[in-house]
Amino acid sequence: MSTPKFAQIKQFIVNNIRSGMWLENQRVPSENELTAQFSVSRMTARRALSELTEAGILTRSQGLGTFVASFKSQSSLLEIKNIADEVKARNGNYSCTILVMEAIHAIAPIAIALGVEVDSHVYRSVIVHNENDQPLQVEERFVNPHLAKDYLHQDFHRHTPHEYLSQVAPLTEARHTVEAIMPSSEMCQWLNLYNEEPCLQVIRRTWSSAGIVSFARLVSPGSKYRLGGHLTFKK
């Protein structure tokens, strides 16, 4: 099966960015230029540019054109996305490194966050999410075993904790806080940071209709990750 034309255009653009031929904030070919270069309709060229813009690879400015976006990975602050899908949407290669999978006794802060009794058993995982074999985010997650009893038996190389929990305890509510932190030496090791730099930390609690499902700490290097969102207001 031949590759669709819009996908060929997307790969052409991504390859030029990855190779360093097109630099951050550099203008990329317009819809008309891509239409002529690839012998496609303008709609096909627009689809390629639009999908790369939605993935955060390109940025469009009305009247000026389309440009290579900042090289920081971007996640939405207004919705919860699966990090593997975010990476793949940027035409990146997703992988993960599982550091910890264990059952622990919940100390008071964790018990309160999960709505369980102090010293009761909860599940803990620590996973490094990678993009193109480079650490992008450390996810430390505590899970209520009553709502995800098989959590520790999952192969998170095949699907992320977010994907699994969304299946067994569909999300109904989420709350999160965002702050800049200086990483610990252990965190620097997990993220392959040779020089300390500020990191972005997201603390997130998620609920299903049956109660609190998980409490997670997501940490990413400030130089590689950012949060963004788009709001549309009704008149």
Sheet with 94-105, edge to edge strand ranges = 94-105, 121-131, 134-143, 211-221, 199-208, 173-181
- In this predicted model, what pLDDT tens digit does every residue of 71-96 receive, in sequence order? 554 455 445 678 898 888 888 899 99
Which strand (E) or helix (H) includes residue 126?
strand 121-131
pLDDT class of 235 with cuts at 50, 70, 90:
low
Domain boundaries, the chain: 5-68, 75-227
Q: What is the model's pLDDT at position 1?
A: 60
pLDDT at 9 over 80: yes
- Rounded to an integer, what distance in angstroms lies between the CA atom of residue 11 and that of residue 103? 43
Angle subtended by helix axes 42-54 and 31-38, to nearest 10: 120
Q: What is the model's pLDDT at position 104?
A: 97
Which strand (E) or helix (H) includes residue 161?
helix 161-168
172: Cβ contacts below 8 Å, ≥ 6 apart: 207, 208, 209
- In this predicted model, what pLDDT tens digit does every residue of 180-217 receive, in sequence order? 899 999 999 999 988 778 998 989 999 998 899 999 99
DSSP state of 143: E
User: Would you identify the CATH topology of the domain 75-227?
Assistant: Chorismate lyase (3.40.1410)
Query: How confident is the model over 56-60, as a mean pLDDT?
Result: 78
Task: Calculate the alpha carbon distances from 140 to 71, 164, 178, 200 in Å.
Answer: 25, 15, 15, 14
Task: Calculate the alpha carbon distances from 23 to 18, 75, 131, 209 in Å.
Answer: 9, 21, 19, 46
Q: What is the model's pLDDT at position 52?
A: 84
Least confident stretch, 18-32, 125-139, 146-160: 18-32
pLDDT at 139 over 80: yes
Please state which CATH number belongs to domain 5-68.
1.10.10.10
Query: How confident is the model over 123-141, as a mean pLDDT?
Result: 95
